[in-house]
Each structure stands twice: as structure tokens, then as C-alpha cells.
Amino acid sequence: MKVSVRTRRTFVAAAAAATMLTLAACGPGDSGEGDGGGDAGGDGGTTTVGFVAVGPEGAWRSANEQNIRDTFTTDAGYDLKYAPATNLDQKSQIDAFTSFVDEGVDVILLSATEGSGWEDSLTRAQEAEIPVILIDRGIEPDDDSLYVTRIAPDNIEVSKSVANWALETFPDGAKYFTLEGPAGVSVVNERNEGWDEVVGAESSFTKVGAQTANWSTDEAKSVVETVLKANNNDIDLIFAQNDEMGLGAALAIEEAGLTPGEDVKIATIDGTKGALEALSEGRLSFVAEYNPLFGDTAVEAVTSALEGADVDSYIIVPSTTFDSPEAATEALPDRKF
């Protein structure tokens, strides 16, 4: 799935084709612009951006969506229409997407709560000459002819960094359990793919099991409580696919009378303040950042797409890792999310 620069292409190519169609349909007198979008900044230069967002879902999501909203400002020439999902429900996202297409916005940003089920919506946007940019989440099956670009850190490489740390930390192997995000979300599959590519190949590592805890601290706590009981506390490592779930695992380990970081080590993905604080205290053992602050990159992609310039179909946002309390303590003062 992931390549650093997949294909350079221009949105215009597809748009031009659709324009011809529209113009043909509308007849001589009518430009067709304004009817179903594509009129980037036609009205005095303001670019209307429809943001089909996820909404409340934890610290990472809040940081990412706030960063997008703080970047696409009116001062910068944007009219950002923020449409968070209702209770993470995909139908509410598809409804918002459809109304943005009908309204004729200039560009759509999409953070999909579910990977599958977007073909029809994306095709409609394409026919309406509205470029779509995926924010963080991918679509499945991944058909990059249906969108301009995806902007996100590289989930497979981020997850591999956690797996490589696990191999170094447990040279004789380990019994581990994976806390996954919600089923059907692209990043969950990508993070499993990266982890399995590294740890899956190691016979000394035993997978006790995996279960979704829906990015939630409370759900992760109860899942890990059950896993510890079922295994007589004989678990060496928890791989939590996000920080909130890792913090839930730490609570469960403490409630079992064990010490997180010593009896059971926890590795997480995201890199939020709460996780770095827990790492600085030794309650977490490794945190791989999944950088949410890429609003500026999104503005560049929107500008390029609307100008018909080349846009990489996958723009990878750089991320780092934290493997010690010292590294976390050092990063905390300037942490923005």
C-alpha cells in the first residue's frame, strides 16, 4: 500500500474530462462553473473547503482536526465547513460528503471513520470536478484514482518502529497481546501489517491474542484485566495501537498488583502529552509518534490540486519515536498535542 511517492499526477486531467462533459450537458450560454463546484475561489478568491471529519475520538483526533481548522482560516482565504461524524457513524459522513458535492464546494477533505464504502461518493465528487484529499485515514480497497492524495504519517513504518523496539527489548522473545483500534479502519490494518512484518517473523514471540478497544482507555483497561486473569498475569508486552488504550492497559496492570514498565511493558502509537508523561514516569516503555499537525501540508496539497499542479498520491508526514523516560521528559515542555 505505502510508497513514499506513488504517482505524480494532476487533478486537472480528470477534471478536464469531466468539464467537457459538464459543458456539453449545460449548453452554450452557461459556464457550468458554479453548478456542482470546481470554481476554486471564484467568488472573490475564497476557497470553500468541506471537511468530512471524524469528530471527538481522543487526544490525537482533537489535535489533528483543530490543526486543520486553525490552518484553513478565512484570513488565509478559506471558508472551511467542518462536518464531524455523528458518533463515528459513516452514514453521517456520507451525508455530509453528499451535501458538500451538491453545494459545489471547491475541495473536500475526508477523514473516514470506515475504510470501505466510499467508491460512489468519491466518483460523484470526481464527476463534479471536486478534488478530494484524504486526511490521515485511507480507503479500502485503496483506489488512488478516486482521490488526489492521502496525507498521513506512514502507519506501516510507524508500527515497524514499535516492533523493532520490541525485538531489541525482548531478545529472548515475549508473550504479547495487541490492543487494536476499531475494525474496518485502514490505520488498524496498516499498523497490524507493519507489526506482523517484523514480529510475526520471530518464533520467539508468542501472540496471546488481539482485541479491539476502540481507541478507548476504559475499554482497554477492561480488556487487559480479562487478559491478565486468563493468563495468570503471564504477559510480557502489550502493543497498544494508540496512546489512550496504552494508558488503559497501565491501569489494568496496576490494578492487578503489577508494575507497568517492569512486570509488563507497554508500547503505544500517537505521541500525545498524556503518553509522554506516562513514559517519563516509566509506566509506558515506548511511544511512536503519529504526527497530527499537518494542516500546512494539507493547504499545499489543496493549492496544488486546484492549480492543476502535480500532487503525490501519498504525502507522508514525518514522525519520531520516544524510547526512554529521559526522551519523553525532554520533549514534554514544547509538546503541542
Draw the binding track, 166-205, toward ligand AHR (x: CB under 6 A; -: no contact).
---------------------x------------------
Its sign, for the CA torsion 32, 37, 40, 42, is positive
Q: Are strands 132-135 and 321-322 parallel, antiparallel or unpaired?
A: unpaired
137 makes contact with ligand AHR (CB under 6 A): yes
Q: Are strands 314-316 and 78-84 parallel, antiparallel or unpaired?
A: unpaired
Instruction: For residue 199, give every residue at least 6 positions away whose Cβ sits within 8 Å of its Cβ, in sequence order, or none.
Output: 163, 166, 167, 176, 205
Q: Which of residues 248-277 bind ligand AHR (CB under 6 A)?
A: 269-270
Which of 287, 230, 228, 288 shows the shortest CA–CA distance to 259?
228
How far apart are alpha carbons 286 and 82 in whole angstroms?
A: 34
Q: Which is nearer to ligand AHR, 39 or 114 (CB)?
A: 114
Q: Which is nearer to ligand AHR, 50 or 58 (CB)?
A: 58
In whole angstroms, how far apart are CA 182 and each of 56, 265, 310, 316, 322? 14, 23, 34, 23, 25
Name residue 144's amino acid. D
Q: Which position among 57, 129, 154, 236 is part of the footprint of ligand AHR (CB under 6 A)?
A: 57
154 makes contact with ligand AHR (CB under 6 A): no
242 makes contact with ligand AHR (CB under 6 A): yes
- Residue 176 grid coordinates: 504479547
Q: Per CB under 6 A, which region of 52-60, 70-78, 205-213, 274-282 contacts ligand AHR?
A: 52-60
Q: Per CB under 6 A, which region of 53-61, 72-80, 127-135, 172-180 contacts ligand AHR?
A: 53-61
Report in angstroms how near the CB of residue 215 gets to ligand AHR at its nearest: 4
Report in angstroms how near the CB of residue 185 gets to ligand AHR at its nearest: 7
Q: Which of residues 5-44 bind ligand AHR (CB under 6 A)?
A: none
Name residue 138's amino acid. G
294 makes contact with ligand AHR (CB under 6 A): no
Binding stretches for ligand AHR (CB under 6 A): 57-58, 60-61, 136-137, 187, 215, 242, 269-270, 290
